[in-house]
Amino acid sequence: MNYKIKCIRCKKNYQLVVKPTRYVTCYECQKSELVGEITDVEMKKMFDIPEQFYKDNMFLRDIKIKYLMYKNLSEKQVAAFIKAVEKMKKASEEK
């Protein structure tokens, strides 16, 4: 089940979320924050996913933005990111 929630920043675009969330930001509003150089090879590979995944999934964007800010992620965050990507890959294959 997916929910469409209005972005709190632009109050214009909608974002898909899997559970009701209060603070929702759309892809367009976060676009500039998603740009940055990733030098770590492992991380670069991990974040190299279809742009559509970032558009559809706010969680993936949050993790990438966090990494670009702090250049560091916890093991838990990495595992959750990989899991979410796998789930999305599966879902897109089933279409």
Q: Which is nearer to Zn ion, 4 or 71 (CB)?
A: 4
Closest CB 5 distance from Zn ion, rounded Å: 11
Which one, of 1, 49, 3, 58, lies nearest residue 28 by Cα? 58
Cβ 9 to Zn ion, closest distance in Å?
4
Site string for Zn ion, 24-43 (x = CB under 5 A): --x--x--------------
Q: State the minimum distance, in angstroms, from the CB of residue 88 to Zn ion.
A: 21
Q: Could you give the string, one character per residue 4-23, with x where binding to Zn ion holds by CB under 5 A and - elsewhere?
A: ---x-xx--x----------
Residue 73 in the binding site for Zn ion (CB under 5 A)? no
